[in-house]
Structure 1
Amino acid sequence: MSTTGTETPTGILVLADGSVFYGRGTGAQGMTTAELCFNTAMTGHQEMLADPSYAGQVICFTFPHIGNVGANEEDEEAASDPARKAAVGMVSRADITPPASWRATSTFDEWLRTRGIIGLTGVDTRALTRHIREHGMPMCAIAHDPNGQFDLDALKAAAAGATPMEGRELAADVTRASEDSWTQAGWSISEGYATGPEEGPHVVVLDYGVKANILRLLADAGARVSVVPGSTSADSVLAHKPDGILVSNGPGDPSATGEYALATLKTLIDSDLPILGICLGHQMLALAIGAKTIKMAQGHHGANHPVKNHESGQVEIVSMNHGFAVDGSSLPANAEETFVSLFDGTNCGFKLTDKPVQAVQHHPEASPGPQDSFGVFKRFVASLKTPAEA
């Protein structure tokens, strides 16, 4: 932001390398440190910031305008109270505009305040995005003070000393505290959210920060859904007598979460029950079968990513949000690559040839994003057999 006249910056972003970006503060006040990433989606800013996978991160929006659709409770992506600890900050080029959508129940800046998200507007987001593309996702400090009082040296020290994402276990912060059933299904403009079925295949979801729309689409596909904390043991999961298991998305380093989750996942894989993994779940299932994960330089964050479906030969445009990836070359012989990114060739999905296990790196539930991959849920639920059918 280039200040003019007597305007005093009320917001600031400081990167670990000492780079400083001034702007106008909005949303919550205070200071926090996090990893900075950019997202290329043009809409769905509320859903992005409410996605638990963004816990411990600040999002720089490459689309310059924000706020014109406001915020509302129907677009909530946190599936539990702990999951509301998602993104901690946002950066945009233009100031937040008043809502112009009939669905809005609050302004976007009001919603930011209620979620404790520090906002910064008036920033040259093109320059910031180029910085991330060239140097990777940095740790940063973001602050908002209506009086514009900032201790620059302290902020630089905070950014430089912030704990990097590698090795961080964040799923425990956003998982639910206890198991529960989920009954909300898909949304329509005239009816709102439908109610899931009372009968049908039973899917148990291991919650590492699951997005609500994953659960809605499972219910929409005909599944009865139970959700359990990510720390739940394999015996407790199997005690629910599920017909299938979903390993959810979530934040942080999969290797760190895997320290307590991999033993559970290995037992569940050995149970021969159908398993579907999404994003962090994809990465941890890969670790459980002996593959490796890697930290990406800038990650994949957007609602416009092309992936090639090797099974159908089709290209799907999908929503993505991940800073770690499965090393496709490390997949064992019994794992077939099913999806690959057409941006950089990274692995975006696999299935086992000797077990009913499949996983995708992208977010087939969108929210925000295109609906090309909704079929992932339909095919998974359709493949499940209830005890009466087995």
Structure 2
Amino acid sequence: MQAKLLLEDGTLFTGQSFGSNIEMTGEVVFNTGMTGYQEILSDPSYCGQMVTMTYPLIGNYGMSLEDFEALKPHIHGFIVREHEQLPSNWRVDYSLDYCLKQFDIPGISGIDTRMLTRKIRQVGTMKAIITTEDYTQAELMKKLNGATFNTDQVLKVATKQTYIVPGMKERIVVMDFGVKSGIVRELVKRGCECIVVPPQTSAEEIATYKPDGILLSNGPGNPKDVMYGVETIKRLLGKYPLFGICMGHQLFALACGANTERLKFGHRGGNHPVKDIDKNSCYITSQNHGYTVTPDIPTEELEITHINNNDKTVEGLRHKVHPAFSVQYHPEAAPGPYDSSYLFDEFLTMVKQFQQAHNLTPRQKEIYTAASKGV
């Protein structure tokens, strides 16, 4: 069946439909990963977006029930050069086409994804519509212009109620802004008990769980639409060790007085080079974000720890007084290289150091003693 993809600048692509035949609008982005399309599909951070894969062959190893990063995908469309209908993999449970049909996600193949990616890089991220109906270009443009797009997508993808993943060591509260299961998996692998809470959970309620540390998760959309999370982070800062990832990194930055801005076309893929300033080392990282922290941070509170080697954007922050740090990329990978999984170990080391407050400097003792009288 024929499918059409129309961009808001009027560019029309015609290809073949796979997955669901539903008509859908969304924001077209591209991902440069060569593998991991299932983890990309199920990453909640892609909520409301149509993902273009730059690697030309997608679907060749099918889908496995073990590899989902969330209970269900939230993307609005999947755009590929060639869609393989007969996967070959000993772990395969079903095909990509079957998965998209099950979750009512439209796919389009047989289009020039190189041209589409180059256009996004030149013009920037654009809104688009996918349909299998025989509309004229003018009719499609009218539909696209009349479509509504959600702003705060965090509440759409995050958990509605608190749940616990058991562990025998440190108790970590995970603020779910669209958390990937890989993040929880990395903590549980290190023996942590994870209490995953909804994004609007108050600092007072978090305190009742008596956490050893707080993890701020990834998530979709504009961080400035999640100011309730920023206010909670302000109340938690200094009272517990804190680690932010992706959206959590941006919310941590806003809570400390920094600013964020939209990138032209974002960073998405498993091959982005990031420099660790302290170690003077370069890591290959997995990324998925459309916003970034601006470099004009409040230097009395924050310092930049990582930068992107491609465009020099901020990739990591550390608080100068409180036990808190964050990274823009995904140390849990899934998909992507595992160069940065050590950050989970550094977070847990910080948690242990915080617990041993008697070994802190007099100034730090004063800060933490005062903080403990609050929430």
Question: What TM-score do you get using the length of structure 2 for normalisation?
Answer: 0.92
Give the Å deviation of 1:200: 0.8
Q: Is 1:99 the counterpart of 2:117 in the alignment?
A: no
The superposition leaves residues 243-274 of structure 1 with CA deviations (integer Å, 9 ceiling, x where unpaired) of 0000100001100112x222111001142x10
Alignment of 1:57-68 (within 5 A): 57-68=49-60
Which of 206, 210, 213 matches 1:244?
213
State the identity %: 39
Residues 1:388 and 1:171: Cα distance change in structure 2 (over 3 Å): closer
2:197 to 228, 243, 266: 228
Please tell me the residue identity of whatever aligns with 1:334: E
State yes or no: 1:160 paired with 2:169: no
Q: What's the secondary structure of 1:208's corresponding residue?
A: coil
| Partner SS state of residue 55, structure 2 | coil
Q: 2-side partners of 1:281 and 1:55: how far apart?
A: 16
| One-letter code aligned to 2:77 | G
Structure 1 equivalent of residue 9 of structure 2: 17
* Partners of 1:139 and 1:162 within 8 A in 2: no
Answer whether contact 1:200 1:386 (CA < 8 A) is retained: no
- Within 2, Cα distance between the matches of 1:387 and 1:285? 19
Aligned partners of 1:29 and 1:387: how far apart in 2?
Answer: 53
Q: Specify the SS of the correspondent of 1:30.
A: coil
Equivalent residue in structure 1 for 2:153, among 167, 170, 179? 170
Q: How has the CA–CA distance of structure 1 residues 341 and 321 changed in structure 2, closer, same or farther, with 3 Å as cutoff?
A: same
Instruction: Say whether 1:317 aligns with 2:284.
Output: yes
For residue 163 of structure 1, report the CA deviation from its aligned partner. Answer: 4.8
AA matched with 1:287 = L
Q: Distance in 2 between matches of 1:22 and 1:353?
A: 53
AA aligned to 2:297 is S
Alignment of 1:1-390 (within 5 A): 10-78=2-70, 81=71, 84-143=72-131, 145=132, 148-163=133-148, 168-183=151-166, 197=167, 199-258=168-227, 260-271=228-239, 273-385=240-352
The one-letter amino acid paired with 1:263 is E
Query: Which of structure 1's runs of 4+ aligned residues deviate more than 4 A?
Result: 161-165, 386-390
The one-letter code sitting in structure 1 at the alignment partner of 2:213 is G
**2:238, 2:323 within 8 Å by CA — same for their partners in 1?**
no
Aligned length: 357
Unmatched tracts of structure 1, length 5 or more: 1-8, 184-196
CA distance in 1 between partners of 2:211 and 2:11 (Å)? 51
The AA in structure 1 aligned to 2:237 is I
1:365 alignment partner AA: E
C-alpha distance in structure 1 between counterparts of 2:217 and 2:348, whole Å = 15
Q: Please state how far the C-alpha of 1:379 moved relative to its aligned partner.
A: 1.4
Q: Return 5+ residue gaps in structure 2 as ranges.
A: 358-375
TM-superposed deviation, 1:222: 2.4
RMSD: 1.7
3-state DSSP of counterpart to 1:366: coil
C-alpha displacement of 1:296: 0.5
- Tell me, yes or no, if the aligned pair for 2:30 and 2:53 is still in contact at 8 Å: yes
Counterpart residue type for residue 45 of structure 1: Y
Describe the shift of the 1:328–1:239 C-alpha distance in structure 2 as closer, same or farther (beyond 3 A): same
Distance 1:85 1:261 in 2: 23
Return the alpha-carbon distance in structure 2 between the equivalents of residues 53 and 123 of structure 1.
25
Task: State whether residues 241 and 354 of structure 2, in contact with CA within 8 Å, keep that contact through their aligned partners in structure 1.
Answer: no
> 1:69 aligns to what SS in structure 2?
coil
Amino acid at match of 2:81: R
